[in-house]
Structure 1
Amino acid sequence: MSKKWNVAAEPEDKYIKELMKQPNVPILITKLLAQRGVKSLHQARDYFRPTLEKLHDPFLMKDMDVAVARLTLAIEKGERILFFGDYDVDGTTSVALFMHFFRGVYDNVDFYVPDKYTEGYGVSVRGVEYAAKTNCQLIISLDCGIMSHEAIDNAIHRNIDFIVCDHHQLGDTIPKATAVLNPQRPDCDYPFKGLSGCGVGFKFLQGFCQKHGIDPTPLWQHLDLVALGTACDVVPMVEENRVLAHQGISYLKKSTKPGIIALLQVLKKDQATVQLTDLAYSIGPVINAAGRIAHAQIAAELLATEDPKEANELANELNRLNQLRRNYDQKITEEALEIASSEESKSGLVLYKEDWHKGVLGIVASKVAEKIGKPTVCLTLSRGEVTGSGRAIGKFDLHDVLNSCGDLLSQFGGHTSAAGLSLKEENLSAFSDKFDEEVQKKLNGKEFVSELNIDLEVELTDITLSTASIIDKMKPFGHENPMPLFVAKGVKSTEVPRILKERHLKMKLIQNDGDQAIDAIAFNQADQLEIITSGSFDIAFRLEINEFRGSKILQLNIKEIRSSVD
């Protein structure tokens, strides 16, 4: 697999000139904004102020009026309502969102989270049976349901109405539910298609408040959960998601939810300074560990509880499960890479071992796909069926490939670059061949190219502490709106870099003789020491601000290093 640094084209001058009308804004910042679709001063103000007023009218979503009407009827009739959530962060935060909201509105509610291993992906028939057994007349699925035709039909047969709140891609038909809230529906005119499952659930509650003239302020208090669900799912951090994440982080910093407080304490995170990256890379994996290793019910109970003692116990249990998850992850990744090395001729990898732990296969597939540079499916045997997860690299459409293999699969679902699937053991060999064939067909003879997408090429003299401070105000960053990445060519280290913990490099860089040196760090790149000490080199980096004893210092966080190209 080849490697390419892909520097984005600079935006049109007319947009840069328009944004430069705002005084004291560095041209580097105007270029970044224009690249991200911000092309006027009005749009720039909206970008830097993602306020709740920017949220769309929930009733623009198809079936919102029907969903709100059916929920209203359930409350008026005193019906029991079951919230059915998926087993990942997006699903468990959705369940907790509804439980917290309805504590102040209506108490005849319950929630259910499926067992990943015994019930599989989506709404399960066992969950519907639980609803019937507990006399529920309405099920609201959260972050799942769009592909759960059998379970929904089963519910309807039992005289249980169904409202689907989902954001995943649709199949050929829409479930026969009372209402289906999903901005991905082709007949849905909702302006923003990229909501998380928790985001769709939030819009439902927003619509309920709006319809009944309920003060939405109590609902805003639960944006901490929406930010967590949004940050931890594969959704674009643009438009409405930026509003939900930005506002949600603010509420999370002052959240009184025992579950969130306990989680942050267990992870030794300062609640007052927590960032979106903490949600995605520290808190999210711990929550997901419940569904991967044991049962996601633990995570849902933690996020929904109002009992501090229970929250502390559950948070410690989640932390224990996450450590176990890490151990599985490391071992299975090593085994998967070994199998992958024996299948170099294939364009699409299907890796299988019957004793792998199902709960970490998504993580393993992601690591293998990134390292090998090929779409990867990791599978294991679970309860008589082959099941697992797939991940793709770059813009490759994994979901489309799996759709082409649909005749060999029992079930599959997910996003463009990430999916879960299951199949009969006798279909494994045929699926492996068909998956490779479909990947090759999609590539059409082209080689996989791993691209490092870079925003701008800059001179180090253009980089200042003020620039870094403005970029910091461009948060939240995430999928499709990443933290800016720059390239500087022909830089030199003013000294032999210090090696930290045998893995990291600490140095000071200049681009031209006489320039002021800038601090830089390169994590896990000690193997690049020879390139650095051989002369000039190119760096791809992000800007960050280090605070030490009250002083702020600009630092380059180097992502990749390569020899300078003449």
Structure 2
Amino acid sequence: MRWTLKPKPEPSKIKQLSEALQVEPSIASLLLQRGIETFEEARRFFRPRLDELHNPFLMKDMDKAVHRIEKAINDGENILVFGDYDVDGTTAVALMSSYLKTRTDTVATYIPDRYDEGYGVSIKGIDFAHDNDFTLIIALDCGIKAVDKVAYAKDKRIDFIICDHHRPGAELPAAVAVLDPKRTDCAYPYDELCGCGVGFKLIQALASREGKSIEDLTEYLDLVATAIGADIVPITGENRTLAYFGLQVINGNPRAGIKAIIEQTKKSELTITDVVFIIAPRINAAGRMKHGNHAVTLLTEDDKVLAQTYAQEIEQFNTDRKEADQRITQEALQQIEVFKEQDRLTSVVYHDSWHKGVIGIVASRLIETYYRPTLVFTRSGDWLAASARSVSGFDVYNALEACSAHIEQFGGHKYAAGLTLKEENYEAFKQAFEDEVSKTIDRSLLTPEIRVDSQIDFKDITPRFYRILKQFAPFGPGNMAPVFMTENLQDTGYGKCVGAEDKHLRITARQGNSQNMVGIGFNLGDKYDLIADKKPFKAVYSIDENHWQGRVSLQLKLRDIKA
């Protein structure tokens, strides 16, 4: 692991903010690293307010989208809410359809089949709309590149409104409205919304025309917070406010479907991390193993008993998903080793029987072993389909764009993307991708990095310090849980390996005459020799609470240890 200590802010700024907020300099330093320099900025950070969300009409084409939907409602048109099969897409469809059903009865939903139709707007979906007299399709979390599909729909007299957050291509679809804050001609102040977030801005705009305020829409924020966590978008600015209040809904009064998932896991107070690892995988499992419709059905169900039944079905999908991704990950690792591809700067693997629904998870798992840009391919009808994942700091979307001569279709983000290509182009693409990454990647990015916010001493870790740290949440990209480094540590003699095969490390460390701190390091069992026999060491860690037999104490969540 590379340890990178973030630059320390100017001492004068630390002193000024520390005095203004009446907090320790170490807290002021953390805030300055997050771009928070004034009392008012700190107030907005620690005490977000829904009424400070941006005006939705600042988004390009929002007025056109609202006008077209109001016309459809007034004229009794059939509206089809269309979305991708992942968490962002299914939560967005649940959000939009739930809201529209409060205003019209002529609303239906459509999620494309991952295997039959693939990602995004599909011809089959448009034909379904035409056959069933839908004259307006609202596409969520997809559509920004669907130029041909939207033209096909137009020929059938079906209008499109697109709510997307992916990067546009050279040409925008000829939709009635294209809502995407990443449009170069869109002046919306925040461009990191997820697909469900863009959908929420649309219902915010629609509701405002009825005289409703943002507080009237809080019931939808459990869906938005789930999408923000699952889609790994930055938890900054507007996303942070939406996630902050969305977590309050999740922990206070969530919709029946989300409540049913939480009850199965027996978890009490959920953080955004819990949303990512508990709620999101279960919603995702429907689209991965069966069909995304199951997720939408769960998320729009009002009846508690029915929601529990649907949640149990989805729990089984999630169990099946876990078994599939574990097996395929092992097969993919063996493929890399058999073909002696460890020295490449990329991992590109393929097998025609791998389950398309889990290849994205497998790509992430491979990065845990071989830390480099990774693609996992499987067969999808007449094509090969892949999920791409990247390492921190490297834009895999740009790398794929440079290899587009070998690709039929691709889309996504800096760190995650999907693509399809012809089987005869696989080897050429594989080499082109390796060549492009070799040419453009900074080699240091191929070693995992721990970014350390600041160096502190154990005496700085007080209950008050931790109480303020907790208020930095919700954590995520752009606002990660603070990571600290402390030097000149010794284990008191109680350090040991724990867990199956001694994979984990538990220490009780002290720094000079300071208080002892217990630390737990998952998958750090092989570092035991560094702390044995009271050898001096340094550690990087975050701080959390340990709940044990009714007692709560602070502990270190170890990230790494060095001599």
TM-score, normalised relative to structure 2: 0.96
- Tell me the equivalent position of 2:59: 61
- Whether the 8 Å contact between 2:73 and 2:103 is mirrored in structure 1 is no
Q: Secondary structure at the match of 1:421?
A: strand
Q: 2:161 is aligned with what amino acid?
A: I
Q: 1:221 to 1:446 in 2, by over 3 A?
A: closer
* Aligned residue runs from structure 1 range 60-459, under 5 A: 60-270=58-268, 273-341=269-337, 342-443=340-441, 448-459=446-457
CA distance in 2, matches of 1:109, 1:380: 35
Q: Secondary structure at the match of 2:209?
A: helix
Of residues 15-24 and 240-249 in structure 1, the stretch that sits farther from structure 2 once superposed is 15-24
- Whether the 8 Å contact between 1:67 and 1:178 is mirrored in structure 2 is yes
- Whether the 8 Å contact between 2:496 and 2:528 is mirrored in structure 1 is no
Q: 1:438 to 1:302 in 2, by over 3 A?
A: same
CA distance in 2, matches of 1:75, 1:203: 18
- Tell me the equivalent position of 2:491: 493
Q: 2:352 is aligned with what amino acid?
A: E
- Tell me the equivalent position of 1:558: 558
Once the two structures are TM-superposed, the CA of residue 393 in structure 1 deviates from its matched residue by: 0.1
- Whether the 8 Å contact between 1:182 and 1:200 is mirrored in structure 2 is yes
CA distance in 1, matches of 2:550, 2:36: 34
Once the two structures are TM-superposed, the CA of residue 211 in structure 1 deviates from its matched residue by: 2.6
- Tell me the equivalent position of 2:10: 12
Once the two structures are TM-superposed, the CA of residue 447 in structure 1 deviates from its matched residue by: 6.9
Q: 1:159 to 1:37 in 2, by over 3 A?
A: same
> Is residue 520 of structure 2 the alignment partner of residue 521 of structure 1?
yes
CA distance in 2, matches of 1:499, 1:346: 33
Once the two structures are TM-superposed, the CA of residue 488 in structure 1 deviates from its matched residue by: 1.0
Write out per-residue CA displacement over residues 538-559 of structure 1, whole angstroms, 9 at most, x where no aligned residue: 1110011224455431111111
- Whether the 8 Å contact between 2:181 and 2:191 is mirrored in structure 1 is yes
Write out per-residue CA displacement over residues 510-533 of structure 1, whole angstroms, 9 at most, x where no aligned residue: 111x22211222223222211110
Write out per-residue CA displacement over residues 345-380 of structure 1, whole angstroms, 9 at most, x where no aligned residue: 322221111111111111111121232121111101
CA distance in 2, matches of 1:446, 1:525: 22
Of residues 31-40 and 324-333 in structure 1, the stretch that sits farther from structure 2 once superposed is 324-333
Q: 1:468 to 1:215 in 2, by over 3 A?
A: closer
Contiguous gaps of at least 5 residues in structure 1: none
- Whether the 8 Å contact between 1:496 and 1:533 is mirrored in structure 2 is no
Once the two structures are TM-superposed, the CA of residue 23 in structure 1 deviates from its matched residue by: 5.5
Q: Secondary structure at the match of 2:76?
A: coil
Q: 1:397 to 1:286 in 2, by over 3 A?
A: same
Q: Secondary structure at the match of 2:20?
A: coil
Q: Secondary structure at the match of 1:21?
A: helix
Q: Secondary structure at the match of 1:545?
A: strand
- Whether the 8 Å contact between 2:80 and 2:134 is mirrored in structure 1 is yes
CA distance in 2, matches of 1:93, 1:446: 37
* Aligned residue runs from structure 1 range 3-42, under 5 A: 3-22=1-20, 24-42=22-40
CA distance in 2, matches of 1:338, 1:538: 35
CA distance in 2, matches of 1:191, 1:462: 38
CA distance in 2, matches of 1:173, 1:63: 16
- Whether the 8 Å contact between 1:465 and 1:553 is mirrored in structure 2 is no
- Whether the 8 Å contact between 2:286 and 2:294 is mirrored in structure 1 is yes
Which of 469, 472, 486 does residue 471 from structure 1 map onto?
469
- Tell me the equivalent position of 2:508: 508
Q: 1:462 to 1:214 in 2, by over 3 A?
A: closer
Of residues 109-118 and 367-376 in structure 1, the stretch that sits farther from structure 2 once superposed is 367-376
CA distance in 2, matches of 1:106, 1:19: 51
Q: 1:543 is aligned with what amino acid?
A: I
Once the two structures are TM-superposed, the CA of residue 417 in structure 1 deviates from its matched residue by: 0.7
- Whether the 8 Å contact between 2:9 and 2:33 is mirrored in structure 1 is yes
Contiguous gaps of at least 5 residues in structure 2: none
- Whether the 8 Å contact between 1:122 and 1:145 is mirrored in structure 2 is yes
Of residues 249-258 and 236-245 in structure 1, the stretch that sits farther from structure 2 once superposed is 249-258
Once the two structures are TM-superposed, the CA of residue 92 in structure 1 deviates from its matched residue by: 0.6
- Whether the 8 Å contact between 2:504 and 2:523 is mirrored in structure 1 is yes
Write out per-residue CA displacement over residues 467-501 of structure 1, whole angstroms, 9 at most, x where no aligned residue: 11111011111112110011112211112314332
- Whether the 8 Å contact between 2:458 and 2:515 is mirrored in structure 1 is no
Q: Secondary structure at the match of 1:20?
A: helix
Q: 1:222 to 1:23 in 2, by over 3 A?
A: closer
Once the two structures are TM-superposed, the CA of residue 305 in structure 1 deviates from its matched residue by: 1.2
Q: 2:35 is aligned with what amino acid?
A: G
Write out per-residue CA displacement over residues 433-488 of structure 1, whole angstroms, 9 at most, x where no aligned residue: 11111111112777733211111111112111211111101111111211001111
Q: 2:488 is aligned with what amino acid?
A: G
Q: 1:265 to 1:276 in 2, by over 3 A?
A: same
Write out per-residue CA displacement over residues 14-64 of structure 1, whole angstroms, 9 at most, x where no aligned residue: 321221123541111111000000011111111001110220010110000
Q: 1:217 to 1:35 in 2, by over 3 A?
A: closer
- Whether the 8 Å contact between 1:4 and 1:450 is mirrored in structure 2 is yes
Q: Secondary structure at the match of 2:419?
A: strand
Task: Report the number of matched residues.
Answer: 558
> Identity across aligned pairs (percent)?
40
CA distance in 2, matches of 1:251, 1:113: 26
- Tell me the equivalent position of 2:538: 538
Q: 1:37 is aligned with what amino acid?
A: G
CA distance in 2, matches of 1:462, 1:562: 21
- Whether the 8 Å contact between 1:399 and 1:413 is mirrored in structure 2 is yes
Of residues 428-437 and 442-451 in structure 1, the stretch that sits farther from structure 2 once superposed is 442-451
Write out per-residue CA displacement over residues 309-360 of structure 1, whole angstroms, 9 at most, x where no aligned residue: 3211211111111111111111111121222231133222211111111111
Q: Secondary structure at the match of 2:520?
A: strand
- Whether the 8 Å contact between 1:18 and 1:41 is mirrored in structure 2 is no
CA distance in 2, matches of 1:383, 1:134: 27
CA RMSD of aligned residues (A): 1.5
Once the two structures are TM-superposed, the CA of residue 507 in structure 1 deviates from its matched residue by: 2.4
Q: Secondary structure at the match of 2:309?
A: helix
Q: Secondary structure at the match of 2:124?
A: helix
